[in-house]
Amino acid sequence: MQRRVLLRLLGLLLASRTLPPAQAARPQKILVIGAGIAGLAAAQQLHRAGHGVEVLEARERIGGRIHTSHLWQDAPMDLGASWINGFEGSPLGDLARSIGLRTAQTRYDNSIAYGRSGKPFSASDEQRVEQLRKRIKRVLSAAQDGATDQSLQAAVEAGLDWDSLKMSDRSLAELLLNSIYEHEYGGSTREMSAWWWDDDGDFDGGDVIFPDGFGAIAEHLAKGLSIRLGQVVQRIAWDDAGVRVDVGQILRADRVIVSVPLGVLKAGAIEFAPKLPATKRRAIEALGMGVLNKCFLRFARTFWPTDVDWIERVPERRGEWTEWVSFARPTGKPVLLGFNAADFGRQIESSSDTQIVAGAMRALRGIYGDAIPMPLGQQITRWASDPFALGSYSFNAVGVDPKMRDDLAASIDKRIYFAGEASHRKHFATTHGAYLTGLRAARELAANA
């Protein structure tokens, strides 16, 4: 199935290149909160410029929402970020090439879809899906010109005259809403803004994964940095004399870069003194934090088509195990990755691993039969329950003004700076967006040093 068509932002690309090191006019003592890609990018830039930089990370590992698991020693699995989208043009593509990371390309059009019967879509099924996709696209285009914002779901239901749809068409429309929109943005279509859901951009080139793990990029950015793990920041206070960060003890600095996820800010896990400006508080409250959870299943052998990358299915209930990625072709490993996003992605987190695997296997047996083998192992994420993430990535919720991302990014009193994917106007919800915000925060801080 076709994914969303994204903007090509060459101007932003050219502006995003890594800044060259420069000597600091007056070396500063800088604390960076969070060792995700945004915080590491900022810290590395400022370290190279001669500032005294220390990174405080709440976890006992670096990377944040980049997390490569080595549980299966011959098959590293990325529990967080997996893909660089638009590899040829992305600044992370440049970085990956410069450090010699192996890549493998996946393609959305290299896919197969199954109906509720378990049989692959027929030509007429594909035609009907494409017709519905185009209708939804037209409806949403019209909704973006509407007088008032509404949820993406409400716009589609009104535009398709939902109650008049045959049950089979409604199931296909639900599949499209979940697969194209919820899995892409992490938010429920009942919460996503019909005005601004797609107010983002992309870079040219294909989508690639790293057979050796995305974590290698975080490790590269962390080289030479002073990083303290297990440091849970409770309070950040500042005045004309500098900044005080409470991690159970008070750490002092000239300036601070806050790069924690939007979910942590929304939860109020860090106290700010004085309070954050009203515009920033409104942005934190209004922006949505989405969920995309993963369930990796490793088998002794492949029993699914090995020449496809994506597997989709029409579920019994909306959003349950609709989308899978096969690692058989790009990496040669008999691993399937099942995604669950938005409402069901949150709901499933309260289930045990055993219950989650059982649900995944019911879905797979509905396609490939009862004789398929049980997995040899599984790896399962729960990003919404993770206290240092509280979600996967941000999305534009109903009532959001895209300018709010600029408000989130704005510095305070030349003391407190902000980075992270949610603070990028056009590349939110991406690792390259997070990386670019780290460079931006470092540039702003250096200009005020």
Q: Which two tokens stand for residue 299?
A: 């088998």
Q: Kindly state the helix (H) or strand (E) to which residue 311 belongs, with its residue range.
A: strand 310-313
Stated pTM of the model: 0.92
- Residue 250 phi/psi, 5-degree rounding, is -90, 125
- Please tell me the predicted confidence (pLDDT) of residue 25: 58
Pick among 3.40.50.2300, 3.50.50.60, 3.90.25.10, 3.40.50.1980: CATH of 7-16+27-66+212-288+398-448:
3.50.50.60
Pick among 3.90.660.10, 3.20.20.70, 3.10.20.90, 1.10.3720.10: CATH of 71-79+104-204+289-380:
3.90.660.10
Note the pLDDT tens digit of each residue in 373-432: 999 999 999 999 999 999 999 999 999 999 999 999 999 999 999 999 999 999 999 999
Q: Is the pLDDT of residue 23 over 80?
A: no
Q: Which two tokens stand for residue 127?
A: 């035609």
Listed residue (4, 117, 74, 66) closest to 327, CA to CA? 74
Note the pLDDT tens digit of each residue in 161-193: 999 999 999 999 999 999 999 999 999 999 999
Q: Kindly state the helix (H) or strand (E) to which residue 238 belongs, with its residue range.
A: strand 235-239
Question: CA 212 to CA 68: how far, in whole Å?
Answer: 9
- What SS3 string covers 5-21? CCEECHHHHHHCCCCCC
- Looking only at the bridges linking them, the beta strands covering 292-298 and 335-341 are antiparallel
Determine contact, residues 228/248, Cβ cutoff 8 Å: no
Domain boundaries, the chain: 7-16+27-66+212-288+398-448, 71-79+104-204+289-380
Listed residue (393, 121, 152) closest to 266, CA to CA? 393
Question: CA 187 to CA 292: how far, in whole Å?
Answer: 9
Per the prediction, the chain carries an average pLDDT of 92
Strand order in the sheet with 207-209: 83-84, 207-209, 104-106
Determine contact, residues 1/172, Cβ cutoff 8 Å: no
What is the number of alpha carbons within 13 Å of residue 140 lying toward its C-beta? 22
pLDDT, average across residues 329-342: 96
pLDDT band of residue 207 (cuts 50, 70, 90) is confident
